[in-house]
């Protein structure tokens, strides 16, 4: 089948088949962008109507997004021979000629690149691939974009990505309705003084504020060292209490301050105030116990006071992944912050400030995820 339009200037105009512009209301707040037409799409001249297209439409339906809310199109409007991935020249040529015009005309509130090719076309500087970047909000030239994996990836031996994609589409839907996940300003205490540590601990204990915490460590058993412990007591507020800086230098220059910092943190871990962390039952709590910190698991009334977001999320969504990176992608609008450490040379080389900020981001991400999980547990009658 020959293209029905004259794509003059495109080097593949004579070898590619079919042609389909996007479809859906041009006032739609959500715009899905796929790669290129498949066989069925080329025959019918419509995007996403073949096998994987139907899968995508089912997931969109399951997420509760009505057809009136989305416009759906492709980076490349025709079908390259043998279903091959479009070449960079085809992508550049076709996006300039059609996609960029569709984007400026529809002006969606949220753009959804479907798969790696579309993600790279819309967010060329994302620094992550589709599997790590899916569900996160990126800023593109045309506004915010939340990429999702391509349905062909789900079909090709990754069935659990069906549920993950439906969860991502929940975030897309909220953004489409103009209610994206709330953005929280970071009010982080970096390089605290001993007085600041005391103020925070007093506040949490006095106001009985549910808090999250996270340890960064090096070494194992006899050589185990706690580099820092982060705490968050709201979606914005966090403190990182360091003990060692990079190169294993002591953070506290005055010995009595270090002892005081440990005494203050021990009073938090040994209190009745509810505390939450990601994977704390197998990592953080055993590590604290190893260095001699008493961690109270139940309050004085015998109620559990330690909660693990990994286990809590497992209870409400067994079929989904439970890593903090995944929880962050579906429950928060935080940027893909794992990249900040990677970009600074990895765990071994990143400067202290980057590690400490990363530690506090883990704490606030856990805090926000915990709030959402609690709501979902209530809805399911589990809390
Ligand atoms: N895959 C795509 O990326 N787009 C379609 O239109 C169909 C399948």
Tens of pLDDT, residues 83-128: 899 999 999 999 999 999 999 999 999 999 999 999 999 999 988 9
CA of 128 to the centre of ligand 1 (A): 22
CA of 85 to the centre of ligand 1 (A): 11
Confidence of residue 339 (pLDDT cuts 50, 70, 90): confident
What pLDDT score does 2 carry? 42
Does the C-beta of 32 come closer than 6 Å to ligand 1? no
CA of 34 to the centre of ligand 1 (A): 5
| Confidence (pTM) | 0.87
Any idea what the Cα angle at residue 233 is, between residues 232 and 234, rounded to 5°? 100
CA of 76 to the centre of ligand 1 (A): 9
CA of 325 to the centre of ligand 1 (A): 28
Does the C-beta of 47 come closer than 6 Å to ligand 1? yes
Average pLDDT over residues 180-192: 92
* Tokens (6 digits) for 222: 């006899």
Q: Report yes or no: 99 and 121 within 8 Å, Cβ to Cβ.
A: yes
CA of 74 to the centre of ligand 1 (A): 7
**Ligand 1 atom with minimal separation from the 35 CA:** 3
Does the C-beta of 35 come closer than 6 Å to ligand 1? yes
Does the C-beta of 321 come closer than 6 Å to ligand 1? no
75 by Cβ neighbours in 10 Å (0-12 / 13-18 / 19+) ranks as buried
205 by Cβ neighbours in 10 Å (0-12 / 13-18 / 19+) ranks as middle
Does the C-beta of 53 come closer than 6 Å to ligand 1? yes
- What percent of the chain stands above pLDDT 90? 81
Average pLDDT over residues 141-160: 96
Confidence of residue 14 (pLDDT cuts 50, 70, 90): confident
Does the C-beta of 38 come closer than 6 Å to ligand 1? yes
Rounded to an integer, what is the distance from CA 235 to the centroid of its chain? Answer: 15
Confidence of residue 5 (pLDDT cuts 50, 70, 90): low
What pLDDT score does 319 carry? 85
Confidence of residue 1 (pLDDT cuts 50, 70, 90): very low
pLDDT above 90: residue 247: no
What pLDDT score does 4 carry? 52
pLDDT above 80: residue 275: yes
Q: Average per-residue pLDDT in the chain?
A: 93
Bridge partners of 187?
Answer: 237
Helix extents (H) in the chain:
39-44, 51-62, 88-94, 100-106, 116-122, 130-133, 151-155, 161-176, 194-207, 255-269, 285-290, 309-316, 324-331, 338-343, 352-379
């Amino acid at each position: 089948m020959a293209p029905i339009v004259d794509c003059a200037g495109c080097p593949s105009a004579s070898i590619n088949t079919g042609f389909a512009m996007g479809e859906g209301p041009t006032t739609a707040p959500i715009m899905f962008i796929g790669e290129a037409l498949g066989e069925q799409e080329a025959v019918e001249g419509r995007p996403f109507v073949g096998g994987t297209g139907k899968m995508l439409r089912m997931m969109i339906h399951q997420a509760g997004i009505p057809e009136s809310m989305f416009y759906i199109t492709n980076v490349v409007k025709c079908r390259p021979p043998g279903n091959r991935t479009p070449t960079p020249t085809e992508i550049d040529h076709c996006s300039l000629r059609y996609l960029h015009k569709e984007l400026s005309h529809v002006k969606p509130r949220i753009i959804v690149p479907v798969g790696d090719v579309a993600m790279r076309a819309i967010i060329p500087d994302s620094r992550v691939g589709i599997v790590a970047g899916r569900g996160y909000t990126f800023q593109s030239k045309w506004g915010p974009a939340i990429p999702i994996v391509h349905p062909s990836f789900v079909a090709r031996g990754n069935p659990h990505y069906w549920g993950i994609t439906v969860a991502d589409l929940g975030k897309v839907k909220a953004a489409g309705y103009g209610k994206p996940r709330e953005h929280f300003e970071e009010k982080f205490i970096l390089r605290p003084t001993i007085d600041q540590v005391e103020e925070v601990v007093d506040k949490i204990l006095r106001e009985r504020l549910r808090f999250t915490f996270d340890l960064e460590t090096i070494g194992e058993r006899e050589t185990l060292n706690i580099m820092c412990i982060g705490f968050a007591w709201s979606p914005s507020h966090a403190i990182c209490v360091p003990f060692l800086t990079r190169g294993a230098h002591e953070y506290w220059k005055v010995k009595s301050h270090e002892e005081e910092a440990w005494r203050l943190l021990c009073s938090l871990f040994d209190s009745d105030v509810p505390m939450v962390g990601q994977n704390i039952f197998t990592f953080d709590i055993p590590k604290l116990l190893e260095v001699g910190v008493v961690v109270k698991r139940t309050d004085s009334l015998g109620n559990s006071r330690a909660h693990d977001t990994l286990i809590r999320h497992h209870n409400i969504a067994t079929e989904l992944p439970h890593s903090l990176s995944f929880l962050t992608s579906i429950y928060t609008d935080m940027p893909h912050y794992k990249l900040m450490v990677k970009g600074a040379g990895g765990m071994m080389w990143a400067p202290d400030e980057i590690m400490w900020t990363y530690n506090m981001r883990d704490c606030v991400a856990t805090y926000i995820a915990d709030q959402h999980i609690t709501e979902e547990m209530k809805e399911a009658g589990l809390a």
